[in-house]
Structures are given as structure tokens and as C-alpha cells.
Structure 1
Amino acid sequence: METALTRLVGVRHPVVQTGMGWVAGPRLVSAVANAGALGILASATMTLDRLRAAVREVAARTDAPFGVNLRADAGDAGDRVRLIIDEGVRVASFALAPSRELITELKEAGVVVIPSVGARRHAEKVAAWGADAVIVQGGEGGGHTGEVATSVLLPQVVDAVRIPVVAAGGFFDGRGLVAALAYGAAGVAMGTRFLLTSDSTVPDAVKARYLAATVKDVTVTRAVDGLPHRMLRTELVDALERSGRARALLHAVRHAAGFRRLSGLTWRRMVRDGIALKHGKDLSWSQVLLAANTPMLLRSAMVDGRTDLGVMAAGQVAGVIGDLPSCAELVEGVMAQAGEVIGELAAAPGGWVDAAMPG
């Protein structure tokens, strides 16, 4: 299936695996790339040396294009951009809107720039600055999320920009891909669906918690880091919501210290990143400190398998997923179902679509 996205980045299928911290490592990304979709490494939880090693590991596992996701507000974002350029990575993805200067530097080096956004105005801004495409995530998506549903946000963005738009938030199968294409998107991005594959390195006990979840077990809370965060509801989440602000801040300080040791960041760099985060989202200093909770609480679950001590970011689709296919099986199934749905629509009386639907 050829779309503006597949032509832009050189993949076979208009499907993107999002850059999930502690989850989107070399094994998952290379498996997605070999399946013909676009895999994206999550770099925010990696040191520069670890990121370079991860990029080279993916390149050794696949000849297909892949990307790296960056935090645009990180103090060393420029260093990471140069690493991407030096290592010949095809796509740079951003969790927040990157600056005009970073976009220009990447584009001049031939890197495709695809920021992720959660509002139409952000899509318009990065498009005006030269972004090649944009991933737009509706409120159904996992992790930090907004309040507007994908079905409302997606057509707004498609109508507002003239670059390829990739839909995220609520997608897990071929029917969703066809729906996104009908809205005018050039493909879909999925996080939770790729987390729940046999190629994902997330511990089996954690995957079991996801598979057992219903739609009602996926909640949005501010208790972890002061920002709206979609995740599985667990006893820990309940406890965090009941705890007072002073106790939450104490936990945040501890987690910040742990993340500093793992990431190799200095306290000065972490403070600079916190200032950037505060400015970008108009947060209080208490919320900035609480934001240190996220990397370590996610790591406890996604790496250590401690569902009692960690949090599990999840899109609402976690409540309707019940299997663990390989990435190859997942992508093949999505594309096969999409083809069947398009065929059925074309064959229906008064059919309004044909197999060349994507443009």
C-alpha cells in the first residue's frame, strides 16, 4: 500500500511504531523495520553512548529505514541531532515540537523530520518551520496525552497542513488504518499494539497485565508527574492519587536521583531540562520536580517487571488487545485486514472507494 508516508520514508507499509521509553529498543525497532513498517528508537532514556550503540545495533539487524525519537527540550538535543546525522538515520521523530534550527539542520543533512503533536496549532507551527510530516495523537493514546479524541483532532490537522499526517491514538488493526486513510491521513502510528508483541522486550508478567485489562482499566491521571498521563490503573496509581503533595515530591526527588545515575546526566543538565520543560508547558516548580517520577516508574515496570512498583503507560486499545503476535505477523495482519476492508467497501452497492484509495 503506497501512501505519502511510504514514499517519504521508504517503507513498504504506512504503519509507524512509536518511540516508547524503555520499550522501543533495538530488538523491537529492527523487527518492525524488517516487517516493512517504520520503527522508531526511544532515546530519551539513553545516554549518548548508549544511543549510538543502539542505532548501530538496529542498522546491523536490518537494511530497512528506521527513526530515532528525541526530546526537543533536552539540553543535549543538538548533540543527539548530530549523532543521528553522523550515523545516517533516516527519520528524526520528536516528542515535542523541535525548534526551527533543529529542523533545518536535520533537513539539510537529508534526515526526514516527523514531530509528534497533540494540537492543530502545533502541527501548523512545525509545518511552517519545514517539518516533512507530522504524527498527531488524540486523547486515546498512551503516555502523556491531550483531551481531544483522534476522530476530532485528526481531520482538523489534515485540513490545516499540506504535509503527510500520521494518525495516532486508538489504532491497533487494519480497520483503523482504513479509517485513518479515509480521514486523509497517510498512515497510522501505534505504541501499545507494538508493545504487546513477542518481539517486545517488556517482561511477560507486565504483558499479562496489559492483556488482562479492559477498556475501563485504562485511566488518565496527573498523580505521576503532574501532567495528564494515560496508563493502566493499578494499586500503585491509586496510592499515588491518595498521597499528599509533600509525599509525592519526596518520591520525585528519589526518582530524579535514580534517573540521573542511569542516564549519566549531571544535576545541572537535569535542572536545565526542567527549566525547558517548565517554560514549554507552563508548569509549576512542583510539577517539574514531579516529572522526574516518569522515567523511573516506567522503568520499574517495563524493564524490571515490577508492576507493584512501576507504572504502565497504555493507550485505550490495551482493553481490546488479547494476543502477542510477532511484529511481522502484526503488520501482515493489519495490511491484510485493511485490504479486505477496502475491497468490501469498493464492492458494496454504491461503493465509494477502490484499492487505490491512499494517495
Structure 2
Amino acid sequence: MIEQQIRTPFTDLVGVPHPVVQTGMGWVSGPRLVAGTANAGGLGILASATMTFAELEKAIIEVKGRTDAPFGVNLRADAADAPDRCRLLIDHGVKVASFALAPKPELIATLKEHGIVVMPSIGAAKHAKKVAAWGADAVMVQGGEGGGHTGPIPTTLLLPTVLDAVDIPVIAAGGFFDGRGLAAALSYGAAGVGMGTRFLLTRDSAVPDAVKELYLRQGLTDTVVTAKVDGMPHRMLRTPLVESLEETSAVRRLAPTVRRTVEFKRDAEMSWLQLARDGRSMKKAQGRSLAQMALAANTPTMLKAGLVDGDTSAGVLASGQVVGVIDDLPTCEELIDRIVTQAAAQLRRGAGYVV
């Protein structure tokens, strides 16, 4: 790991040398990738939404066995057992709790009382203002270029509105892959960058090699945003499966939807009552329809098929547009070292323009 070259409010807040965050990607952000990021000086985040409670505890213990550096866990704020999972973070001394949705103020307060940094992901300035008022320590904002669930506004327009709205550290995500992007985000006023697809495509990622090679063959126009997988806008690779889902009617998608919902229930070790409670929480928090909630249960199963089992014919592959400019598989350390070095050089070069 290289020496610290860039210090921001985020690096001070979290206690890492480099302002680079590996985001919590379901089925991808496991202990090996998180520890690899942490040991390289960035902030690695475990993705817990696809883990049972017991699996999450095991993963946290494994990360702690691989690194002494700070790391985080991404949580579903609307999950029925969210308070129990937060207690797990407290008990194991996890440094950062990140959330895909806004956690309740009392949950934020509990985490902060135990010294845990709270960092929700948001998609609009008004959401950033809300969680900042509730006590969030930082926010991550992802523009439309990003993979997985995403919005329509590009990072270059979304980021400035969020920076104008709050005075807590802002991590910019969506479209970042190198030091020039980090330098640009810092120049906007962000305190660091978050990257998903770029970390998926590292040697520390447990994604099957054949799947990584498929990603590396993609161009800038080879992703698509579709709501046909789980009812919400979701950016992924434009595979034959995704194209068939786009063309299939709702009636013909019904049977596969039911089958994958049953598979998700089994893999998550949830009862039908727990599944219904989570669905009710999702409906309340996100305003999804019953059809969208049924589709949402498909997502973990379909992502697992591609990202864990390597079956690209049966799974979906979440991806940011940045996949079109990635052409190698470095280690996390090699990646972070070159990003930080390039960003520092870019910032020094830019300072020379000031008269």
C-alpha cells in the first residue's frame, strides 16, 4: 500500500488513508474483496442484503481475520431484522454502516452512539438533506451511469446539487474507474469516490473468471436500464436473457417470477411471514406496487445465478456503463495505488493553472 497522498474529510472520518470506497454489491462484495480493499487503504463494504443473519456474522468475522483496517457493512434499512443486524455491527466493532435506503432516525442515533459512521446512499439532494438532518455522517450519491438500481440523472449533474444541499462528506459514485475521475470528484467538492464495477473486475473479486471475461468484452453501449427484472430501474449488461425479459409479456414472466421467489425464500432462510413483512416494509418505504414487490424477490436469485454460479444464460449481471472502458484485472492494491497516484498528479497539474 502506498503512503497517503490525498486527505479529505472522509478519510479523517473513517480512518482510511485513501478516499476510495468499494461499494456493497450483492453476491460480489464478500470478505475477500472487502479485506483486499481495506488492506489497500480504501474502504471496503460487505454486502449483507444477500446474506442471512448467520452468514453476515460469519463474513464480518472473516474480514476481521483478514485485516485490521476499518471496513463497512451495507444494510437494507427496510429489512425486518435491520435493528438486529445493526446490533451485530456494534458487537463486532464495524466502522461504517451504509444503507441503500434511508435508515430511521432512531437507528442512526443508536449506531452513532456506538461510534459507527452512518453513510446512506441517496439519489437526490432532498434525500441527502433529510438524512443529514437525521444525523447521517456522510452520504454516497450515485448518478445514472452506475450499475444496479440507478436513477436517470448523470453524476456530473446530480453531484453538484447534493454538494450544495449538505455540509457532510459526500462520496460520488457512478462512472468512476481511474485517478482522473477521483480528481474530478474532489474538484467538484466530493470527499471521495465509490466504485462497484471497477472492483468487481479485480483479482480479489470472487466472481467467476469466465464472467469477468464477459464483462471485459463489453463496450460503452453494452448496458441497459430495465425495470423488467425487479420492477425498478436496474442497469445491467445487455445479455440475451435481459433482452428476452424486455420482450416478454407480464403473463409469460409470471411462472418464472414465482419460481425464483420460492428459491429466494429458501436461500434466505425466510418464512413466508418474514417475506411478507419485508414486502410490506418495502412497499411502505419505496411505494412499490404488489407486482414490483413480487419481481423484487427475483433479483437476488437472478444475480446469484450469474455472479456466483457463473450461469450467464440464467442470471443477470449488474454493471455500470464504466464497464466499457475497463480492460484489466488488477488486485485491489494495484488498483487503488494507481488511482490515488494518478489523482494526486492530476490535482497538482490542475493547481498550476491557477494564477
TM-score scaled to structure 2, two decimals? 0.97
Aligned partners of 1:242, 1:134: CA distance in 2, in Å? Answer: 37
Q: 1:194 aligns with which of 185, 196, 199?
A: 199
Task: Give per-residue Cα distances to partners, 1:137-181, cap 9 Å, x unaligned.
Answer: 111110000011110110100010010000000100000001101
Task: Give per-residue Cα distances to partners, 1:320-343, cap 9 Å, x unaligned.
Answer: 100000000000010111012112
Amino acid at match of 1:121: K
* 1:173 equivalenced with 2:181 (yes/no): no
SS at match of 2:221: helix
Aligned partners of 1:291, 1:246: CA distance in 2, in Å? Answer: 16
* 1:269 equivalenced with 2:280 (yes/no): no
Q: Report matched runs for 1:21-36 at 5 Å.
A: 21-36=26-41
Task: Give per-residue Cα distances to partners, 1:272-301, cap 9 Å, x unaligned.
Answer: 111111222222111110111110000001
Amino acid at match of 1:289: A
Amino acid at match of 2:112: K
2:50 equivalent in structure 1:
45
Does the aligned pair in 2 maintain the 1:115–1:134 contact within 8 Å? Answer: yes
Does the aligned pair in 2 maintain the 1:248–1:290 contact within 8 Å? Answer: no
* 1:239 equivalenced with 2:240 (yes/no): no
Gaps of 5+ in 2: 1-5
Task: Give per-residue Cα distances to partners, 1:43-75, cap 9 Å, x unaligned.
Answer: 011111110010000001000000000000111
2:319 equivalent in structure 1:
314
Aligned partners of 1:329, 1:302: CA distance in 2, in Å? Answer: 23
Comparing 246-255 and 322-331, the one that deviates more: 246-255
* 1:351 equivalenced with 2:335 (yes/no): no
Aligned partners of 2:126, 2:283: CA distance in 1, in Å? Answer: 20
Q: 1:16 aligns with which of 21, 35, 54?
A: 21
Aligned partners of 1:11, 1:69: CA distance in 2, in Å? Answer: 18
1:324 equivalent in structure 2:
329
Structure 1 segments of 4+ aligned residues over 6 angstroms from their partners: none
Does the aligned pair in 2 maintain the 1:155–1:183 contact within 8 Å? Answer: yes
Deviation at 1:351, TM superposition (A): 2.8
Q: 2:8 aligns with which of 3, 26, 47?
A: 3
Q: 2:208 aligns with which of 199, 203, 207?
A: 203
SS at match of 1:216: coil
Aligned partners of 1:117, 1:345: CA distance in 2, in Å? Answer: 30
2:77 equivalent in structure 1:
72
Aligned partners of 1:56, 1:66: CA distance in 2, in Å? Answer: 12
Amino acid at match of 1:63: D
Amino acid at match of 2:47: A
* 1:124 equivalenced with 2:135 (yes/no): no
Does the aligned pair in 2 maintain the 1:103–1:113 contact within 8 Å? Answer: yes
Aligned partners of 2:254, 2:80: CA distance in 1, in Å? Answer: 23
Aligned partners of 1:290, 1:254: CA distance in 2, in Å? Answer: 11
Q: What is the percent sequence identity of the aligned residues?
A: 62
Aligned partners of 2:224, 2:78: CA distance in 1, in Å? Answer: 27
Q: How many residues align?
A: 350
Q: Report matched runs for 1:149-164 at 5 Å.
A: 149-164=154-169
Aligned partners of 2:139, 2:19: CA distance in 1, in Å? Answer: 13
Gaps of 5+ in 1: 353-359
SS at match of 2:235: strand
Aligned partners of 2:347, 2:291: CA distance in 1, in Å? Answer: 50
2:3 equivalent in structure 1:
none
2:91 equivalent in structure 1:
86
Aligned partners of 1:191, 1:259: CA distance in 2, in Å? Answer: 23
Does the aligned pair in 2 maintain the 1:249–1:286 contact within 8 Å? Answer: no
TM-score scaled to structure 1, two decimals? 0.96
Amino acid at match of 1:244: S
* 1:97 equivalenced with 2:109 (yes/no): no
Deviation at 1:243, TM superposition (A): 1.2
Task: Give per-residue Cα distances to partners, 1:15-48, cap 9 Å, x unaligned.
Answer: 0000000000000000000000000000011111
1:279 equivalent in structure 2:
284
1:63 equivalent in structure 2:
68
Deviation at 1:247, TM superposition (A): 2.2
1:113 equivalent in structure 2:
118
2:296 equivalent in structure 1:
291
The alignment's C-alpha RMSD in Å is 0.9
1:230 equivalent in structure 2:
235
